């Protein structure tokens, strides 16, 4: 009788140990397929409905954020070989907050062929960006796409989104910005397009446009979505222009509380010196 009970206990213990081993094996398989913070073995980070994968390029790393449709956010590749000539061969399509680029570039003399295009004074509102006239180098007022058709720039850097932001919905912003990029590509198919996140405003900003860090943060999220939708390169300038609280860093402030001073412009130039295509 005792032998029978002993055998039954042994069977129960064996079954329990077997179940534990099975559970451990399942746990190991799951841990291998989903690393800490959702990282898979293939290097893809799962962030809710958006995935971010890391791939290598010949000059540095390209970080891609992939959505369910397979589109990818590609950050501008970093290159350890800094090239100032590349910066001064770019065409910048921007609002007036970084117009300091003009005076910065002029300090380098006639060898600089960078072009800085901005609006005609009406503001560079994202939802109307494709239709907005820029002041061309000859003084004429034409759309950015028509200007690109004439100059066929190798690289265009887009920095806009703050103008009229308080009165712009997410859909209007994304559709308008996307239309601008589509028009630029139609006008100059060989041009590489880089889209930048934008700087914020000062902590005591009192502008009538209603800008604040929360609005700027939303706009930068929409800008990333535009890059995902269009495949344009993404340059995260806001990561060094704005402070930890979302305000434009004090070191880069102009008196208007929004435009970027020479120190910030120098950092932007330095960024593009080491990040380019």
Query: Can you spell out the DSSP letters for 77-129?
Result: PB-SS--HHHHTT-EEEE-GGGTHHHHHHHTTGGG---EEE-BSSS---GGGT
Say yes or no to pLDDT of 98 above 60: yes
Determine the Cα angle at 43 with ends 66 and 22, to 5°: 115
Among residues 69, 58, 80, which one has the least CA distance to residue 225?
A: 69
Q: pLDDT tens digits for 7-19?
A: 555 555 555 566 6
Say yes or no to pLDDT of 47 above 60: no
Paired tokens of 206: 């009192």
Among residues 50, 43, 97, 94, which one has the least CA distance to residue 72?
A: 50
For residues 36-44, give the mean pLDDT.
Answer: 31
Predicted local distance difference test score (pLDDT) of residue 104: 82
Cβ neighbours of residue 180 under 8 Å, at least 6 residues apart? Answer: 126, 129, 130, 144, 145, 158
Cβ neighbours of residue 108 under 8 Å, at least 6 residues apart? Answer: 88
Predicted local distance difference test score (pLDDT) of residue 7: 56
**CA–CA separation, 273 vs 88, rounded Å?**
9
Predicted local distance difference test score (pLDDT) of residue 75: 93
Paired tokens of 83: 């090239």
Predicted local distance difference test score (pLDDT) of residue 44: 25
Q: Is 208 exposed, middle or buried (0-12, 13-18, 19+ CB in 10 A)?
A: exposed
For residues 177-191, give the mean pLDDT.
Answer: 98
Predicted local distance difference test score (pLDDT) of residue 83: 82
Among residues 226, 205, 230, 229, which one has the least CA distance to residue 215?
A: 205
Say yes or no to pLDDT of 272 above 90: yes
Question: How are beta strands 72-75 and 233-235 bridged, if at all?
Answer: parallel
pLDDT-derived band at 40, boundaries 50, 70, 90: very low
Beta bridge partners, 119, equal: 134
**Looking at the chain, how many residues does it have?**
277
The percentage of the chain sitting over the pLDDT mark of 70, rounded to a whole number, equals 73
Q: pLDDT tens digits for 102-144?
A: 888 777 655 567 899 999 888 999 999 999 999 998 999 999 9
Give the CA distances from residue 99 to residues 115, 170, 260, in Å, rounded to whole numbers and listed in that order: 11, 26, 8
Predicted local distance difference test score (pLDDT) of residue 137: 87
The reported pTM is: 0.75
Q: pLDDT tens digits for 210-262?
A: 999 999 999 999 999 999 999 999 999 999 999 999 999 999 999 999 999 99
Ranges of each domain in the chain: 1-33, 76-274
Predicted local distance difference test score (pLDDT) of residue 102: 86
Mean pLDDT of the chain: 81
Give the CA distances from residue 119 to residues 116, 191, 219, in Å, rounded to whole numbers and listed in that order: 10, 20, 19
Predicted local distance difference test score (pLDDT) of residue 45: 26
Beta carbons of 115 and 154 less than 8 angstroms apart: no
Predicted local distance difference test score (pLDDT) of residue 11: 57
Paired tokens of 70: 């397979």
Beta bridge partners, 66, equal: 51, 72
| CATH homologous superfamily for the domain 76-274 | SGNH hydrolase (3.40.50.1110)
Among residues 165, 90, 178, 161, which one has the least CA distance to residue 119?
A: 161
Of the chain, the end-to-end C-alpha distance in Å amounts to 82
Predicted local distance difference test score (pLDDT) of residue 266: 94
């Amino acid at each position: 009788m005792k032998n029978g009970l002993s055998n039954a206990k042994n069977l129960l213990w064996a079954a329990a140990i077997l179940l534990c081993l099975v559970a451990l094996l399942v746990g190991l398989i799951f841990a291998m397929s989903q690393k800490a913070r959702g990282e898979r073995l293939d290097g893809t980070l799962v962030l809710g409905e958006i995935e971010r994968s890391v791939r290598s390029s010949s000059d540095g790393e390209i970080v891609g954020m992939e959505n369910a449709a397979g589109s990818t956010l590609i950050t501008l590749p970093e290159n350890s070989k800094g090239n100032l000539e590349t910066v001064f061969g770019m065409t910048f399509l921007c609002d007036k907050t970084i117009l300091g680029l003009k005076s910065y570039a002029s300090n380098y003399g006639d060898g600089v062929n960078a072009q800085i295009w901005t609006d005609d004074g009406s503001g560079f509102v994202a939802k109307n960006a494709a239709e907005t006239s820029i002041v061309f180098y000859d003084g004429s007022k034409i759309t950015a796409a028509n200007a690109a058709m004439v100059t066929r720039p190798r690289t265009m850097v887009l920095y806009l989104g703050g103008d009229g932001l308080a009165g712009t919905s997410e859909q209007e912003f994304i559709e308008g910005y996307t239309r601008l990029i589509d028009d630029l590509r139609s006008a100059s198919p060989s041009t590489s397009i880089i889209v930048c996140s934008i700087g914020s405003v000062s902590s005591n900003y009192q502008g009538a446009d209603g800008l604040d860090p929360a609005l700027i943060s939303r706009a930068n999220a929409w800008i990333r979505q535009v890059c995902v939708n269009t495949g344009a390169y993404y340059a995260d300038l806001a990561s060094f222009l704005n402070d930890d609280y979302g305000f434009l860093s004090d070191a880069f402030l102009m008196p208007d509380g929004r435009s970027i001073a020479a120190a910030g412009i120098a950092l932007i130039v330095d960024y593009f010196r080491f990040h380019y295509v």
